[in-house]
Structure 1
Amino acid sequence: MYQMMLSDLDETLLIGQHVPVFNQEAIHEAKKHGLRFVIATGRSHRMIGDILKEIGTYDMPGEYSICFNGGLVIENKDFKILHFQGLDYKLLRKCFDYGCKENLCMLVFTLDCCYIYNPDEFEVNRKIEQKTPMKVIYDHEIEFLKNESIAKILLVKRDMNYLKELRDEMYQDIGDQVELTFSSERYLECNAIGINKGVGLKWLADYLNIDINDTIAIGDNYNDVSMIKEAGLGACVSCAHDDIKEISDYVCEKNFDEGAVKEVIETFVLKGA
């Protein structure tokens, strides 16, 4: 019997910024059967309050979330930090310099704020919509972040081929020091080395004494691959890239906006319960 399910947010659990009712209902029913439902996201814990309210785990003891692609694990009650592994300032500087050289919009996340450099109007508006604590910065000054708890940096470009080439270039330089992955078809995400959602899943499973074989993970993009592989059952939505489908144990018939999360819950948690 599966005891814990992790779900990505964008293009997996959410439609826009909300959990659709059909997913909410499936989650609530699964919880009645003892399933822990955990969001596993690249977002900050400061950006998920409304989502947790919709799935019924906001400010609840014994409920958990994985943020910053596995860099942060919290208990939802008072957003209690259980585990955090951030990005060293010197490595932030190296990633930031690549973004400056390419004149990219960049999002630097600390535990408390998102700093948007070379701002893209869409990204600024999206962070407003997500109710993200943020500051827009029009120069390239990051020295003030030296003593901050830095979670990650995103380099933004709506061209995946371009981002893959940039990833390859960065990998040659700092690939042994920084975890590089993609999300939402426009982000090159830079976390501390060894940080990914699969590591977050394993950390939380160990913390809760849950056998990894009794876990489910569902996602859609490359920053979800590690947890799809790590979970006892790894699933992806129907619109996932073909190479993500190939490593998944289960490929949903439905897309995220049609109820892929609900499909997995009904098929593997509620069926026969």
Structure 2
Amino acid sequence: MTQDDSIYSLIALDIDGTMIGDDREVKPELVKAIARVKETGAVVSVSTGRTLTPALKIARESGASGPVICFQGAMTFDQVTKSALRHERLEADLAIRAIEGLKSSVPEVMMFLGDDVWVEKRSDWTDGYGQRMGVDIRDTDSLLNMADQLPTAIVGVGEPDVVGPLVLQLHKQMNGSALVTHSLPMFCEVEAIGAGKDLAVEHLANSLNISQDQVIAVGDGKGDQSMIKWAGLGVGIAGGHPDVLAISDRIIATPEERGLTHLLEELLEDGKLGPAQTGIN
């Protein structure tokens, strides 16, 4: 929970519905606010369910130069060294169970492996996804035969009224052996149990010698809930997932109403941002 005298040194930002709205554009006023935040010595990182390539694109456009947390926390990528600081992958048996469980319920199943997305059958939706996200869609005769390559994530795409119950069903079937998340109503995502935005943000904070109470996490979706709950100051977005709003310390306006920009400007004005304090573990 937030404390009035806290100075925050790490800000972890979800992308979709938090940094950008339906127009998918990073607004100039947010870029300016993030630049001012960095001048205080605080670190700004994106923390998203997106894959690495589209996550890096938004990070660069916004000026969020801290390590990029992507794949719902399964990977943390250092923009300076251009290497992964952390990468949790699905073991083959878990990937097989995820593929089989998803294929039985939804029409689209994608395997995220390296910088590419693999599918058994192309569709207008998968091709459109590749274009929107800037990733290559690859074809394979069998995702199951690729399970031993240790994918970062398996994602099923379907109608929200099917995906919602599927998330609960697959979570039960995995029995704690994998992380089953639901960042968007049409996505059922399966990652290694070591993934999760909370674990990724915690690992990043520890590596930067930043304590939990010095961390701000901002997001709107179910996949953001864990990091918002973990952070010293957890911030939800108006109209976001009810579970997120219920555990948020603060709720701000949508990207269309410049909610995140106003939050950062307020923190700057109040002198609440700064570098990590030495000696903090």
Query: Deviation of residue 57 (structure 1)?
Result: 4.9
Is the 1:86–1:149 Cα contact (8 Å) retained in structure 2?
yes
What's the RMSD between the two structures over aligned residues?
1.9
Structure 2 CA distance, aligned partners of 1:25 and 1:267?
A: 14
| DSSP 3-state at the match of 1:109 | strand
Structure 1 CA distance, aligned partners of 2:74 and 2:143?
A: 24
Structure 1 CA distance, aligned partners of 2:67 and 2:242?
A: 30
| DSSP 3-state at the match of 2:182 | strand
The TM-score with structure 1 as length reference comes to 0.90
Query: Deviation of residue 152 (structure 1)?
Result: 0.7
Is the 2:216–2:231 Cα contact (8 Å) retained in structure 1?
yes
- The residue number in structure 1 matching 2:89 is 86
- The residue number in structure 2 matching 1:181 is 181
Gap change, CA 1:47 and 1:272, over 3 Å in 2: closer
- The residue number in structure 1 matching 2:159 is 158
Residues 213-265 of structure 1: per-residue CA shift (max 9 Å, x gap): 0010000100000100111100011111222111000011x112221221221
Correspondence 1:191-202 to 2 at 5 A:
191-202=191-202
Is the 1:39–1:66 Cα contact (8 Å) retained in structure 2?
yes
| DSSP 3-state at the match of 2:76 | strand
Out of 113-122 and 37-46, give the one that drifted further: 113-122
The TM-score with structure 2 as length reference comes to 0.87
Structure 2 CA distance, aligned partners of 1:57 and 1:250?
A: 22
Out of 68-77 and 17-26, give the one that drifted further: 17-26
Structure 2 CA distance, aligned partners of 1:257 and 1:98?
A: 37
Structure 1 CA distance, aligned partners of 2:143 and 2:84?
A: 29
- The residue number in structure 1 matching 2:25 is 18
Is the 2:46–2:64 Cα contact (8 Å) retained in structure 1?
no
- The residue number in structure 2 matching 1:70 is 73
The answer to whether the aligner puts 1:231 opposite 2:231 as a matched pair is yes
Residue ranges of structure 1 left out of the alignment (5+ in a row): none
- The residue number in structure 1 matching 2:53 is 46
Gap change, CA 1:258 and 1:171, over 3 Å in 2: same
Identity of aligned residues (%): 23
Gap change, CA 1:264 and 1:118, over 3 Å in 2: farther
| One-letter code aligned to 1:86 | R
Structure 2 CA distance, aligned partners of 1:38 and 1:55?
A: 10
Is the 1:4–1:36 Cα contact (8 Å) retained in structure 2?
yes
Gap change, CA 1:102 and 1:23, over 3 Å in 2: same
| One-letter code aligned to 1:49 | L
Structure 1 CA distance, aligned partners of 2:71 and 2:126?
A: 17
Structure 2 CA distance, aligned partners of 1:110 and 1:45?
A: 11
Structure 1 CA distance, aligned partners of 2:255 and 2:150?
A: 33
Query: Deviation of residue 141 (structure 1)?
Result: 4.0
Task: Give the one of 76, 95, 107 matched to 2:98.
Answer: 95
Query: Deviation of residue 272 (structure 1)?
Result: 4.1
Gap change, CA 1:249 and 1:117, over 3 Å in 2: farther
Residues 13-67 of structure 1: per-residue CA shift (max 9 Å, x gap): 1234431212111111111122211000112222233222212356xxxx31111
| One-letter code aligned to 2:170 | M
Query: Deviation of residue 123 (structure 1)?
Result: 3.5
Gap change, CA 1:57 and 1:225, over 3 Å in 2: closer
Residues 59-106 of structure 1: per-residue CA shift (max 9 Å, x gap): xxxx31111111111210242111111111211111111222124201
- The residue number in structure 2 matching 1:270 is 269
Residues 89-126 of structure 1: per-residue CA shift (max 9 Å, x gap): 21111111122212420121112311134444233212
Structure 2 CA distance, aligned partners of 1:21 and 1:112?
A: 28
Residue ranges of structure 2 left out of the alignment (5+ in a row): 1-6, 273-281
| DSSP 3-state at the match of 1:97 | helix
